[in-house]
Every structure is written in C-alpha cells, then in structure tokens.
C-alpha cells in the first residue's frame, strides 16, 4: 500500500462520507432532537467536502492524474516545469491505493511515455520512455540503441539550444530517433560516460530510458519496470512554468505527447 496523495484522498472520502451518512441515518423524521435544529458544524463541512473529494479521488484514480516534471531526464520532449496529464486507464483499471488491477485493457507499446513507481523506491514516481518490451534484447553501445540486434534509426538534427532550467544542455547533439514508427527527439552528450551492455527484458516487465540519454537514471542503471509498477501513459502538457527562468511557456501548453 502506498501512502501517497490518493491514500489521503481515500481517507478524507471515507471520513466525510461516514460523518455525513451517519448523520442522515440518525436523523429520523420522528426524532425530536433534530426538529428545527441546525446541522452541527462538522456535519456541514462533511456534507460540503464529501462530493468534492469523492470526485477528485475517482478522476485521479480512474481517468487522469496530473504530474509535474522536476528534472531534465526527458528533454527535449519534456522540460523542467512542464505539467502533464497521465491517462490512468490505458494500461488497465486499478484500484486506488492498493494498485491492484481489476480490468485488463491495453499493454504498453514501444515509444510510450510512461509514469511508473520507481522499483527501488515505490513511493517515488518516475517518467521515461518504453524502449524494450517483454522478451526483447536491448543493447546500448557508443550512444547507439539496438533492439533485437537491429540498430534503431537516428538522424542528427544539429546542436541543441537549451532554454530555462535546461540551458545546461545547450550544445548537446540533437537527434531524431524512430522507435517502431514513433519519432521523437533525444539528446546526446558525446564524451559523457554512460552504462553500456546487453539487457534481456523478462516477461511482465519493461525496459525504459530517458530521452536525455546522458542525463537519465533509467533501466540501464537499475533494471526493468515490473508491469504492476505502471501508473499510466503521459499524453498531454496542460501547463509549463519554469519559475527560475522563463516563466509560463505558452508555446508548450496543449502539446500532445508522443
């Protein structure tokens, strides 16, 4: 069980629901104690907040959940300060808090941007791109990616110009990568050390990497993501606010992620 925001939403829903529901059950028409008597303050609060927290809990648990990007590991696709929406039902319906899947739907596809609970510390959410599916052989050598012994096509676009808190990536090599038809930008720091090798993705797990290949703590370092750790698929930037530098990024609002 994860003691995250959803947990406290659930507790708030239960408490306000019990207070309001209990008061209604006790309030019989023939009960003199309730005749012409104002509701206790705690009941008024419970009646007001119960539908709000219930709706928020249902939306966050089964439809979409907002996240803020705190690091540059997914640059240039996602920038520090981007606020994204994550589809919570794409990969199946899960019960809140206990994260047990009750309805099977789709499976992650290569190229999906996914939010997941970090396997080394499930209380922390990570966001990366799916590179390897169950059974895949992933190799990474000399800044090049290979899937099942086939090199992934990459086209150099030139030097990257960073903005805001991502200015430190200025000068990195900007490449366009094609993952099974999904084209997306990546950044490479030639000369920067990185983990190389061959990785076999076990069943029920996924190999993930950041688009900022030399500035990403991903599957190359700590292994694969179990299916039960998946939170959802990122699909939309609804706000971008780099408070240290550029302020609100109006040009990024409404961006559909791919």
User: Which range in 28-37, 47-56, 225-234 is most confidently predicted, on average pLDDT?
Assistant: 225-234
Give the model's confidence band at 1: pLDDT under 50 very low, under 70 low, under 90 confident, else very high: very low
pLDDT of residue 147: 98
pLDDT of residue 30: 53
Give the model's confidence band at 45: pLDDT under 50 very low, under 70 low, under 90 confident, else very high: confident
What are the C-alpha distances in Å from 50 to residues 21, 26, 42, 45, 134? 10, 18, 12, 8, 42
Residue 34 confidence (pLDDT) above 60: no
- Specify the pTM: 0.86
Taking the C-alpha atoms of residue 250 and residue 19, their distance in angstroms, rounded to an integer, is: 44
pLDDT of residue 28: 60
Mean pLDDT of the chain: 90
Give the model's confidence band at 186: pLDDT under 50 very low, under 70 low, under 90 confident, else very high: very high
Mean pLDDT of 228-234: 96
CATH of domain 64-248: 2.10.109.10
Q: What is the DSSP string of 179-239?
A: ETTEEEEEEE-TT-----EEEEPPTTEEEEE-SBTTS---HHHH-PEEGGGEEEEEEEEEE
pLDDT of residue 12: 87
Residue 52 confidence (pLDDT) above 60: yes
pLDDT of residue 85: 97
pLDDT of residue 3: 56
Instruction: List pLDDT tens digits, range 81-127.
Output: 999 999 999 999 888 877 888 888 899 999 999 999 999 999 899 99
Of the candidates 208, 232, 185, 237, the residue with the CA atom closest to the CA atom of residue 77: 185
Comparing 127-131, 154-158, 178-182, which segment has the lowest mean pLDDT?
A: 178-182
Mean pLDDT of 167-190: 95
Instruction: List pLDDT tens digits, range 53-89.
Output: 888 888 888 889 999 999 999 999 999 999 999 999 9
Catalytically annotated residues: 73, 128
Q: Residue 109 in contact with residue 91, Cβ under 8 Å?
A: no
Instruction: List pLDDT tens digits, range 190-203.
Output: 989 889 999 999 99
Mean pLDDT of 139-155: 96
Residue 136 confidence (pLDDT) above 80: yes
Residue 31 confidence (pLDDT) above 90: no
């Amino acid at each position: 069980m994860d003691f995250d925001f959803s947990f406290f939403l659930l507790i708030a829903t239960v408490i306000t629901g019990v207070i309001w529901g209990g008061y209604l059950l006790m309030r019989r028409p023939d009960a003199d104690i309730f005749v012409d008597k104002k509701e206790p303050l705690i009941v008024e609060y419970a009646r007001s907040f119960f539908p709000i927290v219930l709706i928020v809990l249902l939306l966050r648990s089964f439809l979409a959940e907002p996240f803020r990007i705190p690091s540059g590991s997914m640059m240039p696709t996602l920038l520090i300060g981007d606020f994204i929406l994550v589809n919570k039902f794409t990969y199946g319906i899960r019960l809140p808090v206990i994260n047990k899947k009750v309805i099977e739907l789709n499976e992650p596809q290569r190229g999906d941007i996914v939010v997941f609970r970090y396997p080394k510390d499930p209380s922390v959410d990570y966001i990366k791109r799916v590179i390897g599916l169950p059974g895949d052989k992933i190799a990474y050598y000399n800044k090049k990616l290979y899937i099942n012994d086939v090199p992934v096509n990459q086209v150099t676009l030139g030097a990257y110009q960073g903005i805001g808190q991502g200015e430190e990536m200025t000068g990195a090599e900007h490449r366009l990568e094609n993952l099974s038809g999904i084209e997306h930008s990546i950044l490479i720091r030639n000369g920067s050390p990185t983990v190389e090798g061959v990785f076999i993705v076990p069943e029920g797990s996924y190999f993930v990497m950041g688009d900022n290949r030399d500035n990403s703590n991903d599957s190359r370092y700590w292994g694969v993501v179990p299916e039960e750790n998946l939170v959802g698929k990122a699909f939309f930037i609804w706000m971008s606010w780099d408070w240290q530098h550029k302020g609100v990024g109006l040009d990024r609002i409404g961006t559909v992620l791919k």
